[in-house]
Amino acid sequence: MQNKIEYFLFISFSKLFCFLGLNTSRKIAGLLSALFYYCVPIRKEVVFKNIALAFPELSESERTQLVKDIYRSAAITFIEILSLPSLTKEELMGSVSYDIDVVRECYERGLGLVMMTAHFGNWEYGAIASGLNLGVPISVVTKDQRNPYVTEFMDKNRSRWGNKVVPLGLSIKNIYVELKAKNVVGLVADQRGAADGPRVNFFGRPSAVYTGPAALAIKTGAPLVFCVVVRQPNYHYHFQVVEVSKENLPADREAAILELSQRASDKLEDAIRKNPSQWFWMHNRWKY
């Protein structure tokens, strides 16, 4: 019953935003972010803790303003995702510009392609538009939401224009099949890794890391690219892509995976430092 009630509220907001249109709905972002910041402070303590660890040079007032900006960015993303059912292919492609040549050059090597991204800007827009711009469906590895009805909503919109959804629990074999077939696999891999797993240096501190993208790239020989979708002041998005170099990796496989994960993590940190409000700081990256 709880799932149905939650989904009713979820889909009601979706229908409201679709009815109002994106331009009008985005104007609600300030009100929505204030509601979550002041009245329903979801993971607010975690966000403040993360900001203090990542940017110790900021004053208390600067941290507070940054956290407010983070909540507003998250509200915009939430509104845009819930508006996906009313978005046309042309509108989506027109809202995202690309460094597509980097992706195409890596893909045309004929080894498949691992695209690693983060909960940054609007990552859902980025994944959908990538498949459309590249002209090749992307197998998007996803983690099911706690509410199965929300999962169904998200997967329907993710695969609406050709991308394939690969559930995380069933993904390993399917991912290898896709890469061996020289296809493109997309993973959002910026969350905290396992407590007993490897660590990378992230904002000057050890942080457990998810090494899946690096392991896939090394095992299959596929290039690894890191991507973020950066929101511009006019709500246009720029999809920034950079290849993560596999040059001069250690001979030991586990050491190579860790080094490649560190290089990818450095790309993520660089992107966050340039646009700190656009990352989803609700993740407890320094829990242990």
- Which residues, at least 6 apart from 278, have a Cβ–Cβ distance to it below 8 Å? 73, 120, 121, 230, 231, 272
DSSP string across 248-282: T--SSHHHHHHHHHHHHHHHHHHHHHHSGGGB-TT
Query: What are the sequence ranges of the domains in the chain?
Result: 1-86, 91-277
Q: What are the tens digits of pLDDT across the range 146-171?
A: 899 999 999 999 999 999 998 876 56
Residue, of 281 and 169, whose pLDDT is higher: 281
Edge-to-edge strands, sheet with 113-117:
96-98, 237-243, 224-231, 113-117, 184-188, 138-142, 164-167
Residue 16 tokens, joined: 């409201």
- Which residues, at least 6 apart from 231, have a Cβ–Cβ distance to it below 8 Å? 73, 76, 121, 122, 237, 275, 278
Residue 169, pLDDT score: 67
Residue 127 tokens, joined: 């994944």
Residue 67, pLDDT score: 98
- The span from the CA of 24 to the CA of 152, in Å, is 26
Q: Which of 238, 213, 216 is nearest to 117 (CA)?
A: 213
Q: What are the tens digits of pLDDT across the range 194-235?
A: 999 999 999 999 999 999 999 999 999 999 999 999 999 999
For residue 100, the one-letter residue type is I
